[in-house]
Amino acid sequence: MQKEREISIKDVRVDDTFWNGPIQNAVEKVVPYQWRVLNDREPGAVPSCAVQNFKIAAGLMEGKFGGFRFQDSDLAKWIEAASYSLLYKDSEEVRGALDEIVSVIEKAQREDGYMDTYFILEKPQERWKDIAHGHELYCAGHMLEAAVACLQATGSDRLMKVMEKCVALIRKTFGEGEGQMSSYPGHEEIELALMKAYRATGREEYKDLAEYFIENRGTEPGFLREPHFKEAQKSRWFGPAYHQAHAKIRDQKTAEGHAVRAMYFFTGAADVALETGDPTLKKALEDLWDNVTQRRMYVTGGVGSQGEGECFTIDFDLPNDTCYTETCAAIGLAMWALRMLRLDPDSRYSDVMERALYNNVLSGIAQDGEHYFYVNPLQIEPDVARFRKDMESVEPNRVKWFGCACCPPNITRTLCGLGSYVYTRRGDSLYQHLYIGNKARFETEKGTAQLSCTSSMPWQGKAEITYQGPQGVQLYLRIPEYAEDFKVEKDGAPLALAPEKGYAPVTLTDGGVYTVTFAMKARYLEANPHVTEDCAKACVQRGPFIYCAEEADNGPLLAAFTADLSAPLAEEESGLFGGIVTVKATGTRPDMGPWEKALYRPAGAGRVPAELTLLPYFLWNNRGEGEMLVWMNAR
Q: Can you tell me the distance from the alpha carbon of 223 to that of 138, in angstroms, rounded to the nearest whole number?
A: 15
For residue 206, is it left (φ>0), alpha (ψ between -120 and 50) or beta?
alpha
Pick the catalytic residue from 310, 326, 381, 395: 310
Phi, psi values for residue 42, rounded to 5°: -110, 110
Name the CA radius of gyration of the chain, rounded.
25
* C-alpha atoms less than 13 angstroms from C-alpha of 497 in its C-beta half-sphere: 22
What's the helix, strand, coil split of the chain in %, to 5?
A: 40, 20, 40
Which string of DSSP letters, residue by residue, matches 158-198?
HHHHHHHHHHHHHHHHBSSSTT-B----SS--HHHHHHHHH
Phi, psi values for residue 268, rounded to 5°: -60, -40
Q: Which residues contact residue 423 at a Cβ distance below 8 angstroms, ignoring those fewer than 6 apart?
A: 7, 12, 430, 431, 432, 433, 440, 442
Give the pairing of strands 429-432 and 474-478. parallel
Pick the catalytic residue from 406, 407, 453, 539: 406
Q: Is residue 310 among the annotated active site residues?
A: yes
- CB count, 10 Å around CB of 284? 20
Tell me the β-bridge partners of 468.
Answer: 450
By the 10 Å C-beta count (0-12 exposed, 13-18 middle, 19+ buried), 204 is classed as: exposed
Catalytically active residues are: 310, 406
